[in-house]
Amino acid sequence: MKTLLLIGLLAATALPDSLRAQVYPEPIHPIADADSLPQAKQAKAARLWAVGSSSLLTLGATYVYLERTWWNGRGIPFHVDGGRDRTYASGLDKVAHFAGGVFISDTYYNAFRWAGMTQHKAAWLALGSAAFVQWSIELKDAYSPTYGFSWRDVAAGTIGGFWPMVRNQSRFLNDAQWKAGYWQRTPKYFMERGIPVQRLSIDDYLNQTYWLSFSPEHFGSTRWQRAWPDWLQISVGMGLEAETWSLQHDGLGGRHEWYLAPDVNLVKLFKPRSAAAKLVVGLLKYVKIPAPTLQIGPKVRWHWLFF
């Protein structure tokens, strides 16, 4: 969840034009004849500066946030995780780092495309940006009294950074969406920690879910593809079972829960045209829309509304 903070902070700190380009999920074409026109070269340089300055401001704001609220002056010398993260949150934190890598690389990919980069170059720069952010997070964790530098977290986030490359090469994944949800179904995490219930905790994995939404229209005959609404998707989700989780065991318990739910591709549904509409849709594309959900494991259960 820490990497998800970067998305929100980027939205709050980026310049309006660059922000619109970074969050809008539709393909963004590079500046025409960027290498032949002096004006285009200047525009390209200005946009790259906008992307870079927004990134520095975002990382700085994230550092200050973690320093004041997460570590709260309780830092210790640099250290590497001793193995606790192998089983922490039953691996759901690795899914969170992977999803964070996806979100960040997707954001930077669109930003670099807006700045005039080719698809190939933008995808590689987006991967490097996602890896850099993951390293930054883990270097901060290395001074945490609770955590430590984790090679596994870096690897999970970096793998997520390959998302633009993989998506561009696959017709099935081209309109697929990775999403996250947070819905307080249980206050167990706060109760076992002995702290007041908060609206959001980045360490409360009991109430976090991660989803991959895809379009069934890619399967079947041409008639089926025409009949299926292109904005309607199916989403597969993963979370933790509260009954088998306990902070007394260092938060290492909890079986995985699996979900199936309908989902919506907001871009294909609303086809936004104005800058404000594109901004809103671009930010919401990372959030799972509440919907009726079938839990398929480890217990079969029906949820009339699940986030």
**DSSP-based three-state secondary structure for 129:** helix
Are 176 and 165 contained in the same domain? no
- Please give the DSSP secondary-structure letter assigned to residue 26: S
Are 139 and 287 contained in the same domain? no
Token digits of residue 75: 């830092």
Average pLDDT value for residue range 24-35 = 41
What's the pLDDT score for residue 34?
A: 42
Residue range(s) defining the domain that contains residue 270: 171-307
Are 162 and 221 contained in the same domain? no
- Of 169, 203, 238, the residue at which a domain comes to its end is 169
Identify whether the C-beta of residue 163 lies closer than 8 Å to the C-beta of residue 102: yes
Are 14 and 157 contained in the same domain? yes
**DSSP-based three-state secondary structure for 192:** helix
For residues 29 and 153, which has the higher predicted lDDT (pLDDT)? 153
Average pLDDT value for residue range 177-192 = 92
Instruction: Convert the pLDDT of each residue in 56-108 to its tens digit.
Output: 787 777 777 766 666 666 778 888 988 778 888 888 999 999 999 999 999 99
Complete edge-to-edge strand list for the sheet that includes strand 301-306:
177-182, 208-214, 232-240, 256-264, 291-297, 301-306
How many structural domains comprise the chain?
2
Q: Which segment of 62-71, 179-188, 235-244 scores lowest on mean pLDDT?
A: 62-71
- Of 169, 195, 230, the residue at which a domain comes to its end is 169
Instruction: Convert the pLDDT of each residue in 225-234 to its tens digit.
Output: 888 999 999 9
**In this structure, how many other beta carbons lie within 10 angstroms of the beta carbon of residue 288?**
26
Q: How far, rounded to the nearest angstrom, does the alpha carbon of residue 178 sit from its chain's CA centroid?
A: 7
Are 183 and 286 contained in the same domain? yes
Token digits of residue 150: 């984790």
- Of 112, 143, 169, the residue at which a domain comes to its end is 169
Average pLDDT value for residue range 130-149 = 86
